[in-house]
């Protein structure tokens, strides 16, 4: 018997509940929109796709024609940017300030040094050892943003990567746009970054949290790593060192960089899921928790957040009102 994938489970649940759902690829990950009124699915999807296209053109590190690529290549010169990249940079800099630099948009060069130099689907899963240059992350304070004039400046040699915040921002904006266009309840899921808007179903939105969000993988591949919770508003995000992994010279690498070492995070947590008022905030908190390490539960608790943290051995720690 073939194991049920998450895509199968999504479609079955939607059919049982009278919801409309669509899934496709976008921003280098899976994209899903679910609506409470199936007749409005096409309208909602169109709104989501428009937002994702705008975010990709503004904030992708991998598109040669994106505004972010042009900004990174400007060698320290002030560069004119549009409203979407201005907003994305503002969110990234606010996230860095809120986490005291634990989530830092200037880790782009470190990601490139460790082999994440193109959209992840094109990154070789295995390869020879890398000659990694040991250099400090420039730091978010080096990025200058003039929101009034629509200008930004990145130090020469620095590379801004918005992966830790832009996907959450995209989910928030897409859900709001879809709910406004469709006039019904909407859930948007971008590779595990989830935002809901409009009127939720009476029983809420069930969300499966797991180490890897690919909808084509088996639904439950690892006992404690998978849990279904219900949300009615705001956002939920999951960060994991088990996703976006590759090998170089026999060493396992992943996409979550510790700005303090300019290297992939080494810590106790393999996966952290957080709920918050927005998906962008949840994404920031889940990423910061991975970087923080052992003190992450207290850090999350002090900020009034609800979270689920999974250690490498599969044991789970709950924070706040996250259901056990």
The predicted structure's pLDDT at residue 216: 44
- Any domain includes 118: yes
Identify the residue whose tokens are 């609800």: 306
Domain annotation covers residue 7: no
Predicted confidence at residue 249, as pLDDT, reads 53
Residue 118, pLDDT score: 53
Within-domain flag for 244: no
Q: What is the CATH number of the domain that holds 104?
A: 1.10.3980.10
**Residue 83 CA: distances (Å) to CA of 54, 80, 152:** 10, 10, 12
Residue 89 lies in a domain: yes
Within 8 A by CB and 6+ apart from 178, the residues are: 33, 35, 43, 44, 45, 47, 48, 186, 188, 197
Do 169 and 190 form a contact (C-beta atoms < 8 A)?
no
Is residue 260 assigned to a domain? no
Tokens linked to 209: 């949290």
Q: Has residue 102 been placed in a domain? A: yes
pLDDT tens, residue order, the chain (324 aa): 344 445 556 566 676 778 999 999 998 889 999 999 999 999 999 999 999 999 999 999 889 999 999 999 998 999 999 999 999 999 999 999 999 999 999 987 777 776 655 565 655 566 665 566 656 788 999 999 999 999 999 999 899 999 889 999 999 999 999 999 999 999 999 999 999 999 999 999 999 998 765 444 444 445 556 899 999 999 999 988 877 665 555 555 556 788 888 678 788 999 999 999 999 999 999 999 999 999 999 999 999 999 999 998 999 999 999 998
What is the domain extent for residue 76?
A: 59-153
Write the CB contacts of 212 (distance below 8 Å, at least 6 apart in sequence). 240, 242, 243
Looking at the domain assignment, is residue 83 inside a domain?
yes
What domain count does the chain have? 1
Whether 248 is in a domain gets the answer no
What pLDDT score was predicted for residue 215?
45
Per-residue pLDDT, 116: 55
Cα–Cα distances (Å) from 229 to 209, 212, 274, 286, 323, in that order, read: 8, 16, 11, 16, 7
């Amino acid at each position: 018997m073939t194991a049920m994938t998450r895509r199968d489970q999504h479609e079955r649940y939607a059919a049982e509940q009278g919801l409309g759902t669509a899934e496709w690829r976008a921003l280098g990950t899976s994209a899903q929109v679910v609506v409470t009124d199936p007749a409005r699915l096409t309208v909602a999807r169109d709104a989501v796709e428009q937002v994702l296209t705008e975010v990709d053109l503004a904030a992708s590190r991998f598109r040669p024609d994106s505004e972010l690529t042009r900004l990174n290549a400007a060698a320290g010169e002030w560069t004119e940017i549009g409203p979407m990249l201005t907003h994305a940079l503002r969110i990234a800099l606010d996230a860095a300030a809120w986490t005291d630099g634990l989530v830092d948009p200037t880790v782009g060069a470190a990601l490139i040094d460790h082999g994440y130099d193109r959209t992840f689907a094109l990154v070789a899963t295995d390869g020879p050892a890398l000659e990694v240059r040991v250099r400090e992350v420039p730091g978010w304070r080096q990025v200058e943003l003039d929101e009034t004039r629509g200008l930004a400046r990145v130090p020469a040699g620095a590379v801004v990567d918005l992966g830790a915040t832009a996907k959450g921002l995209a989910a928030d904006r897409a859900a709001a746009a879809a709910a406004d266009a469709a006039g019904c309840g909407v859930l948007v899921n971008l590779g595990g970054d989830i935002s809901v808007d409009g009127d939720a179903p009476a029983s809420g939105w069930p969300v499966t949290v797991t180490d890897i969000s690919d909808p084509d993988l088996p639904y439950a591949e690892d006992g404690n790593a998978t849990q279904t919770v219900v949300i009615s508003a705001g956002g939920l995000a999951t960060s994991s060192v088990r996703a976006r992994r590759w090998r170089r010279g026999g060493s396992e690498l992943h996409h979550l960089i510790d700005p303090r070492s300019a290297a992939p995070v080494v810590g106790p947590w393999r996966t952290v899921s957080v709920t918050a008022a927005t998906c962008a905030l949840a994404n920031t908190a889940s990423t910061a928790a991975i970087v923080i390490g052992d003190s992450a539960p207290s850090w999350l608790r002090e900020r009034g957040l609800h979270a689920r943290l999974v250690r490498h051995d599969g044991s789970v720690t709950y924070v706040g009102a996250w259901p056990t």
